[in-house]
Structure 1
Amino acid sequence: MRNYILILVFLGLPSTLVSAQDYLFAGDRFPLLIEKNESRITGLGVEVTQQVMAQLGLNARFEILPWKRLLHMAREGSVDGVIGVYHTSRREAYMRFVEPPIYVDDVMLFARKDLDFSWKGDFRDLQGKRIAVVRGWSNGEVFDKQSKSLRINELESLDAALRAVGKGHYDLAVGNIRNARTVFERRNLNNVVEAIEPPIATLGVYITLSSRGRLHNHVDAFAQALGQLNDSGELKRLQQAYGLH
């Protein structure tokens, strides 16, 4: 087997065919955390993972995958790590959450600017409202629990949810402000849809390791290396480089 790998290297074949030690990290298209720019996958989560893995002497490769499929892969261990995860007790059953979070998101309600709606944090104010959420996303365990008694409609993306609110198909959408800002700019929604204060949740954004993946025995070492990035100020520098303050 060793001679076979050396032959592949000599022939110049892609490293993904050569190295059995390329650990797979993946995420959905999460602006500024993990996204594809031309032929490269970039983002805060990608750079943090690369630095942590380099400290461990390990190689990482990255893919962007649909969120529900990615969570299934994490359950079965066919992906080693997931970038951009909010903590829930259900996810804790099959993913190890590595402290500290790499960023903190505000999860917001979004409405048309001409909607007569007041929100002070009381979920009873959401009764009767048509609410669009993203399929497979958690919006914090409190909202997830409350949503069972609300008029919830699942859409494939926050882009679709915000556009639907802008067209009046739904009263409200739920999602994080980081993703929403990108949609506002791309879809020219700034004069149509707005975020409603206060946030419904403030959630840490984590890199997780699959409990059944090849890195499940490296959680402590991964956390130590990530902690060093945080303590040294490098994590904050990377956040600022991506405009995440």
Structure 2
Amino acid sequence: MKRYWLTLPLLACLPLHAAPLRFVGTEFPGILQASSAGAYGLAVDVIDTLCQREQLQCKIELLPWPRAQSRVQHGLADILIGPYRNRERAGYLQFSRHPLYVDTLYWYRRESQQLSWSGDHASLAGLRLGVTRGWTLGEGYEKAKPRLNVDVADTLDQSMAKLQRQRLDLVASNERTARTVLGRMGITDIVPLLPAISQQGGFVGYGLHSVARDDIKRFDKGLSRMAESGELAKLSLRHGLLYPGKQTNWTDYLRQLP
């Protein structure tokens, strides 16, 4: 994957020695994507808006997902764009109060193969399961994982191709990414297996080494204001994404996210 940098405007009133906030992420359809002109997507819109509004200097770098996580974990970047929450990541990240986006995760199957499951990952023992490297599916999956036959691929495209060729029985993905990948590959006979695995928030992850910085605190408060005012829901619609609106009971909503 090529590295794409987006340096957001440094406002004239910022001190010249101000250190930029270093954001890292990977290509997530609708959230963060790359073109010859640079990075774009919901995350770029939000970061651009908040960094200008809060008078912050910001840089975004796109990397393979495991490397992006490692950068923040080892203090080589400040903020990880879009991680789901889990115990491992909580060891080196502090998550934003409000998610940047919300995903629904499914196991995907060939339409011709009739499978069923109740939501208990242990029931999938014996099936060939495809998962993308660096992704997490929640605590239920992690607990059952040692007893599962899991094939880890570098990209969802690789797993979907194996599923189509009957080398896998199920592939895990969020709906947003699966829709994009299957459309790009021209595959129409792979469908989600109900019920959904879970609904996950894609948060902003602040590296513990830099979480005390004033600019990070200001960014996080600004993100919360965007969520609670409905501004983030409006921005999400521009990218074909759904996000809770202004009338959301945020206390209850945030409590039910993993």
Could you state the TM-score of these two structures normalised by the residue count of structure 2? 0.83
Q: What's 1:126 paired with?
A: 124
Q: What's 2:253 paired with?
A: none
List aligned pairs for 1:154-173, cutoff 5 A: 154-173=152-171
Contact 1:22-1:58 at 8 Å conserved across structures: yes
Worse-matched range after superposition: 33-42 or 46-55:
46-55
State, as a whole percentage, how many aligned pairs show the same letter: 29
Matched residue pairs, number? Answer: 228
Query: Structure 1: how far apart are the matches of 2:125 and 2:203?
Result: 31
When you count helix as a share of all residues, which structure comes out higher? 1
Q: What's 1:52 paired with?
A: 50
Q: What's 2:230 paired with?
A: 233
Query: Structure 2: how far apart are the matches of 1:138 and 1:132?
Result: 12
**Cα 1:165–1:216 shift into 2, 3 Å:** farther
Which of residues 234, 240, 244 in structure 1 aligns to 2:241?
244
Q: What's 1:71 paired with?
A: 69
Contact 2:121-2:140 at 8 Å conserved across structures: no
Query: Structure 1: how far apart are the matches of 2:42 and 2:238?
Result: 9
Worse-matched range after superposition: 34-43 or 115-124:
115-124
CA apart distance, 1:149: 1.1
Could you state the TM-score of these two structures normalised by the residue count of structure 1? 0.87
Which of residues 201, 206, 210 in structure 1 aligns to 2:207?
210
Q: Which has the higher contact order (CA 8 A, sep 6+)?
A: 1
Q: What's 2:139 paired with?
A: 141
Deviations 1:19-43 (A, max 9, x none): 7633221111111111102322011
Superposition CA RMSD, Å: 1.8
Query: Structure 2: how far apart are the matches of 1:185 and 1:133?
Result: 19
Contact 1:210-1:216 at 8 Å conserved across structures: no
Query: Structure 2: how far apart are the matches of 1:143 and 1:122?
Result: 8
Deviations 1:149-191 (A, max 9, x none): 100111001111111101111111111111100011100112x
Contact 1:26-1:82 at 8 Å conserved across structures: yes
Query: Structure 2: how far apart are the matches of 1:183 and 1:152?
Result: 20
Query: Structure 2: how far apart are the matches of 1:36 and 1:99?
Result: 27
4+ residue runs over 3 A deviation:
none
Q: What's 1:7 paired with?
A: none
Secondary structure class of the residue paired with 2:47: helix
- In terms of Rg, which structure is larger? 1
Q: What's 2:28 paired with?
A: 30
